[in-house]
Amino acid sequence: MPHLTVHVPENRLAGNESALAAALTDAVADVYGAWARDLVGIVLTGVPTGRFAQGGKAVDTHVSVVLGIRAAAFDRPEAAEISARLAAALTDAVTGVLGEELRTGTMVELVASPQERTFVGGAPAE
């Protein structure tokens, strides 16, 4: 189950939650296929003004997208290509909804979770 945690400046997120969730879901489904659409879980967190910083200065042009996926995804021969496609698609989703000026400040991190450390509803995920 791909799950995303997205931190966005609150002033940019407000009113765009549904559109951003839909665009991020579409991005994952475009890379993995339609089967993945219903499995995508998303948490959107608005970050108050002044709480994103770069070089010690507050900015409102940064977005952090963390995608947790099974570690086995990185063992596939096409893992590098899929990772690059995910990063590009998720960045495009963010900028398509919130504005192109966020592109250079959008960080996508793919985090691998071994199957034995992935749980849903308190039970090991299948």
Return per-residue pLDDT of the chain as tens, 126 residues. Answer: 789 999 999 999 999 999 999 999 999 999 999 999 999 999 999 999 999 998 999 999 999 999 998 888 888 999 999 999 999 999 999 999 999 999 999 999 999 988 888 787 898 877
- Provide the pLDDT for residue 102: 95
- Provide the pLDDT for residue 115: 80
Question: Cβ(4)–Cβ(41) under 8 Å?
Answer: yes
**Closest Cα partner for 45 from 4, 3, 5?**
5
* E-strand stretches of the chain: 3-9, 41-47, 53-54, 57-58, 63-70, 106-113, 119-120, 123-124
Instruction: Give the pTM.
Output: 0.91
Look-up: residue for tokens 């985090």?
111
- Provide the pLDDT for residue 107: 96
Eight-class DSSP state of 26: H
Characterize the bridge pairing of strands 123-124 and 119-120: antiparallel
